[in-house]
Structure 1
Amino acid sequence: MNAVTWEQRERIVALLDEASADPAVRAVVITATGRGFCAGADLRGGSSSDGSPAQGDVTRMIRRGAQRFIGAVLDCEKPVIAAVNGTAAGIGAHLAFACDLVLAADSARFVEVFVRRGIVPDGGGAYLLPRLIGPQRAKELMFFGDAVAAADAAALGLVNRVVPAEELAKTAREWAERLAQGPTRALALTKQLVNASLDTDRATAFAAEAAAQELCMTTRDAREGVAAFVERRTPAYEGR
């Protein structure tokens, strides 16, 4: 069920960092093979909830482990799509919710499993869910730990689109290709603006928007977008 080991987590964090730095990477898809997306942390390697080797300092372990894992998705400078092929539980659910867009197979399920283990949600759960669906709905999921079917997750606003399982990979590729053909720097700045807006006041958000637009207008893609509009043609963005 693809429980996340320490090594897998570090590999994903590194890949997301590489994606941010590589101009050739224009979009990222996070998905899995088998019948599960991610069953949570692999607790066999240690006693912590994020699966890291036991170190005695749980706070430090969570910050450097589960929170850093989810932060890598939120901070990636390329758009990130989750293609959820099966059960996403615990940190696996939060991994999906941290992505910019979430596709789910009709067989997928999302489970806030932490309460079943007698622990609080980690990996940014109490940060992500209220911002996606509001505090009361978030508490319902976290207090009871019930599995949420893909269709119900979409109705709540946790999922962008539910597709038949056999169409998930194809749809994820189509979405990724559309994003990869877009103005990559503008998408990165848009992601930053939206994520930051949830924690800032209007004046700060407006100032950030103006600064981002000034920066964006210096890119080749912005010049191409304006030229294509004037010339009545489809723009050919380079991601620069």
Structure 2
Amino acid sequence: MSELMIETQNGIRTLRLNRPERLNAFTSPLSSQLIDALQQASADDEVRVVVITGEGRGFCSGLDLTAVSELTSRQKSRHERLDDLEWVGRLTLSIVHNDKPVIAAINGAAAGAGLAMALACDFRVLKASAKITTGYIRNGLSPDAGMTYFLPRLVGLAKATELILTGRDILAEEAERLGLANAVFEEEEFEEGVRRFAETLAAGPPIAMTLSKRMLAEAQDADLVTQLKRELASIHKCFASGDTREAVQAFLEKRRPVFRGE
């Protein structure tokens, strides 16, 4: 049985972690499959949006501590030796550098690298019963997978310090209040809510979405003048695209635009 289930419908590529008996904790095979699937989705013009979620009652409980020796093995591939990021870093970058919007559909427990993966995503939608935690400190560990990069940017340094050093549980309501969740759906509405959220994004202009996502990622460490130049270059690309011509024509004809990424 595959540890990652992949489904595509209406331009939405769903990547479902499939280790429900371990709350979808990461193993080496699962992490490799997920990185490959994200890279494939980024390159596939038929994919407009990527959704990462979990099978069963968990989203992802982070590193599977029963396989820790396997995951921390120093036997690295040539690619890993060159970047020295190991799978956690490469997973984070495969989300941030993905050309498609990535949604973390948090259906249950998210902890450690599982939460860090969600923080790297462009959007996080939570089931009302879901609990999240930075978790690392509970196991005598410091954070990885970009946790110390994303969390302070989302909630501020003081709150991020609290959440990392206490490792306490965060309920969905608090996550939404802190800005960690873009939406919270009740149990019976979760799947439908995620679908509607993803479909709204999938109907958007692909070129503008990709350029916008890239600029938002680059803006984290850029000065204003650099970012203004990037914005100008990107909007010129948009004006030259068929999507912008379609938007103008749809406006004149008083109809909804249909974007094809041309």
| Common topology (TM > 0.5) | yes
Deviations 1:65-102 (Å, cap 9, x if unpaired)? 11111111111101111110111000000111111111
Conserved? CA contact 1:182–1:239, under 8 Å: no
Tell me whether 1:157 sits opposite 2:179 in the alignment.
yes
Tell me whether 1:180 sits opposite 2:202 in the alignment.
yes
Secondary structure, counterpart of 2:104 in structure 1: strand
Of the candidates 228, 233, 239, which is equivalent to residue 255 of structure 2? 233
AA of the residue aligned to 2:55: T
Tell me the equivalent position of 1:54.
Answer: 73
Secondary structure, counterpart of 1:11 in structure 2: helix
Tell me whether 1:8 sits opposite 2:30 in the alignment.
yes
Of the candidates 43, 49, 52, which is equivalent to residue 27 of structure 1? 49
AA of the residue aligned to 2:175: A
Tell me whether 1:125 sits opposite 2:144 in the alignment.
no
User: What is the CA distance between 1:53 and its match in structure 2?
Assistant: 4.6
Tell me whether 1:84 sits opposite 2:106 in the alignment.
yes
User: What is the CA distance between 1:189 and its match in structure 2?
Assistant: 0.8
User: What is the CA distance between 1:62 and its match in structure 2?
Assistant: 6.9
Deviations 1:89-138 (Å, cap 9, x if unpaired)? 00000111111111100111111111112221000000010111111111
User: What is the CA distance between 1:157 and its match in structure 2?
Assistant: 0.6
Percent identity over paired residues: 39
Secondary structure, counterpart of 1:143 in structure 2: helix
> Using the alignment, how far apart are the partners of 1:11 and 1:117 within structure 2?
26
> Using the alignment, how far apart are the partners of 2:93 and 2:187 within structure 1?
28
Instruction: Give 1 or 2: higher strand fraction.
Output: 2
User: What is the CA distance between 1:45 and its match in structure 2?
Assistant: 2.5
Structure 2 gaps, min length 5: 1-22
Secondary structure, counterpart of 1:239 in structure 2: coil
Superposition TM-score, scaled by structure 1 size: 0.93
> Using the alignment, how far apart are the partners of 1:23 and 1:56 within structure 2?
35
Secondary structure, counterpart of 1:142 in structure 2: helix
Please say which of residues 217-226 and 135-144 is displaced more in the overlay: 217-226
Tell me the equivalent position of 2:159.
Answer: 137
Secondary structure, counterpart of 1:31 in structure 2: strand
Aligned length: 236
Deviations 1:19-73 (Å, cap 9, x if unpaired)? 11111101111111111110111132333xxx6251179x969712111111111
Please say which of residues 101-110 and 223-232 is displaced more in the overlay: 223-232
Conserved? CA contact 1:19–1:25, under 8 Å: yes
Secondary structure, counterpart of 2:227 in structure 1: helix
Please say which of residues 139-148 and 165-174 is displaced more in the overlay: 165-174
Tell me the equivalent position of 1:219.
Answer: 241
Tell me the equivalent position of 1:106.
Answer: 128
Structure 1 gaps, min length 5: none
Of the candidates 190, 193, 217, which is equivalent to residue 171 of structure 1? 193
> Using the alignment, how far apart are the partners of 1:46 and 1:151 within structure 2?
32
Secondary structure, counterpart of 1:34 in structure 2: coil
Secondary structure, counterpart of 1:102 in structure 2: strand
Superposition TM-score, scaled by structure 2 size: 0.85
> Using the alignment, how far apart are the partners of 2:225 and 2:110 within structure 1?
37
